[in-house]
Structure 1
Amino acid sequence: MAESSLKEQLSSAVKTAMRNRDKLRLVTLRTAQAAIKQIEIDERRELGDEDVLKVLDKMLKQRRDSARQYDDAGRQELGDTERAEMVIIEEFMPAALTEDELDNLISAAINSTDAQGMQDMGRVMNELRPQVLGRVEMGHLGKKVRAALAG
């Protein structure tokens, strides 16, 4: 059973974290591995890099939301832990898109789908999603697409 390169990187990072006795890093990476393994078992298939990126992106979103909730509740230390986990997960994500690159991708997607207005937002987002996976927060992408389609 051939492992994808991202899964191999995660596995290697887990071993390094164990050797270095880096508890937070080890727990975070093992959580990611467990989430990936759970999906593989549930769907009875080997996950590729794109699927692993989706899992990691979901984990980032969960931690972002948790950190915000902890901060709102005055639990700064727990919010800091969530942000530290985000930094660890982000190491395995592709480089983030700049605003200019994102604007260019949005323009190209609008042109390729012949989008005329807000009613075409779903088509534009479906066109963009595979290109930006893990490289931009989807909420930010939605706002930018909405603004581009509105005017």
Structure 2
Amino acid sequence: MTLFEQVSKDIVAAMKAKDKTALEALRNIKKVFIEAKTAPGANDTLEDAAAMKILQKLAKQGHDAADLYVSQNRQDLADAELAQVKVIESYLPQPMTEAEIEAAVKEIISQTGAGSIKEMGKVMGMASKQLAGKADGKTISDIVKKLLA
């Protein structure tokens, strides 16, 4: 079952459970998935890898919005946004810890033979592909800089 199909099934379950927060989040996810499927060049398909990237983007946007609400003293809106982010994150794989990311990056550095910060692009390219969906780019970048410095 694809992620798109799973979200569709969960929308029905949320309707039956009368869970308004989950329903709103799931409908938003499905809307973005449909937009991605019907985008030019998508051939009416949505791979799970692309769906994961969309979910990560939605979760990041939700966290950013919640931070903005908190800075504007609107805790009620921040709580609602974080509740939706929790639903979105339930579809994402568990993120890697910094120690796990560091171990993976060390392995990639040994594979590429990179020895200086000048070769960071080569390491980042491989690391981004291997750790896609499991770690965010900023964390990977920080660890690569630290290890190559």
Residues 1:34 and 2:31 aligned together: yes
Q: Does the aligned pair in 2 maintain the 1:14–1:26 contact within 8 Å?
A: yes
Question: What is the rounded CA distance, in whole Å, between the counterparts of 1:32 and 1:133 in structure 2?
Answer: 19
Report what 2:42 is aligned to: 44
Q: Deviations over 1:9-64 (max 9, x none)?
A: 21111111111111111111111111111111113321111010010011111111
User: Residue 22 of structure 1: which of 19, 23, 26 is its match?
Assistant: 19
Give the count of matched residue pairs. Answer: 147
Residues 146 and 101 from structure 1, CA distance in 2 versus in 1: closer, same or farther, beyond 3 angstroms? same
Distance 1:12 1:128, change over 3 A: same
Query: Aligned partner of 2:4: which letter?
Result: K
Give ranges in structure 2 of 5+ residues lacking alignment.
none
What do the CA deviations read for 1:93-118 (whole angstroms, capped 9, x no partner)?
11221232211111112122222222
CA distance in 2, matches of 1:31, 1:120: 40
1:121 CA displacement: 2.1
Partner of 1:147: 146
Q: Deviation at 1:87?
A: 0.8
What's the C-alpha RMSD, in Å, of the aligned pairs? Answer: 1.6
Q: How does 1:2-151 map to 2 (within 5 A)?
A: 5-42=2-39, 43-45=41-43, 46-150=45-149
Q: Which runs of 4+ in 1 moved over 4 A?
A: none
Partners of 1:53 and 1:133 within 8 A in 2? no
Structure 2 counterpart of 1:128, which letter? A
What is the letter of the counterpart of residue 40 of structure 1?
A: K
TM-score (norm 1): 0.88
Deviates more, 1:12-21 or 1:137-146: 137-146
Deviation at 1:70, TM superposition (A): 1.4
TM-score, normalised via structure 2 length: 0.89
User: Is the 8 Å Cα contact of residues 10 and 29 (structure 1) preserved in structure 2?
Assistant: yes
Q: What is the rounded CA distance, in whole Å, between the counterparts of 2:63 and 2:116 in structure 1?
A: 31
SS in 2 for 1:97: coil
2:71 and 2:26 map into 1 onto residues whose CA distance is 26
